[in-house]
A and B are shown apart, each in its own frame.
Chain A
Amino acid sequence: MKIVKEGDKSKAVCDTCGLTSVTYRLRDVPFTDDVGIVKNILAGVCDQCGHVVSVPRQCTPKIKAVYEAKKSAEYRLPAHFIDILSLASSKIDDEIGDALSKPLLLYYVHKLNNGEIPAKIIKELLSSELASAPSTKRLSLKITERTERELGDVVQKTGLHSSTELIKGIILKIYEDIVKPKTPKHMKELKTIAATFG
């Protein structure tokens, strides 16, 4: 793998100057969507105009860390949905309890994304009697950009209108799979996941 040092030279296309020589210098480089700023990384700086025009491959781990800085997602849900999530978490592992809520939700998001759970089930569950109630409570989750993207993919696959609808549908599925039956089907797998959050 190529490693560049401060002061090394290369070439790149600068938006202002065209094909140009660049020198790798330390710079603070923001993201295009203002998610954050990657501080003090080597960047290819145009020798003519002084603008940053490239970043070397070796900076990806640091860029990734800043990119994945967590942000909060808020979902308005009926009160009993929060209860269902708590009940399911406690049933899997009584000692960890609510700390399992987020991993449990993401477990289901992932299962939907890879097709292990058919997407149509979510829509069916949302038309059930248990689904109809005013959304008076709020569930707040810290999620990464990657998770946000996966949620978006699953929203598309399920044909729903929002991540909130998806989360509601997943909680209803959790009710069917974990809370309702005496012994949940995937208990062994779920307990293994819980063990990683000890």
Chain B
Amino acid sequence: MQFVLEGAMGFTEVKARILNCLRSGEYDHEARGKIEVKNLLACGQVTEEDVIRLVSRTNGGQYVVSPHHADQTVMVHVFRPIHHGVTWYIKFYFIEPGAVFISVHL
């Protein structure tokens, strides 16, 4: 379900911002008491460069946004780029000045 909020960021801005976070290393990983094995970036199974490549190839049709289940004021962004015929799933939210990755997986 996609929510459009007044003043919300558009896809282009979200993409630019998460790329900036990846390049500057300004991000954490969500851990609900445990480290999510579906977050391949957190587990070092994909690199920042891999995720930068995937985010860079994501288009607006592969993006959805919705409120975080635990806090409706925080928007969770999901990118679903396709690379070599495989759909990736990159889920994150922004917390100034960086981001928090929830999952990165096939």
Contacts and interface: CB of A to CB of B under 8 A. Distances in A.
Contacts of B37: 31-33, 35, 67
A10 B96 CA distance: 9
Interface in A118-166: 145-146, 149
B38 interface: yes
Contacts of B45: 64, 67, 145-146, 149
Given A18-B71, A60-B44, A13 B29 contact: no
Contacts of A30: 34-35
A12 B28 contact: yes
Contact residues on B (Cβ < 8 Å of other chain), bracket: 20 to 34
Contact of B100 (A13, A15, A35, A38): A13
Interface stretch (A51-59, A73-81, A168-176, A178-186): A51-59
B26 A12 contact: no
Given A31-B37, A52-B31, A52-B32, 4 more contacts: A18-B71, A43-B31, A60-B42, A64-B44
23 contacts: A11-B95, A11-B96, A12-B100, A13-B30, A13-B68, A13-B70, A13-B74, A13-B100, A14-B70, A18-B71, A18-B73, A29-B34, A31-B34, A31-B43, A33-B37, A52-B31, A53-B32, A54-B28, A54-B31, A55-B31, A60-B43, A63-B43, A64-B45
Interface of A: 1-2, 10-19, 29-33, 35, 38, 43-44, 51-57, 60-61, 63-65, 67-68, 145-146, 149
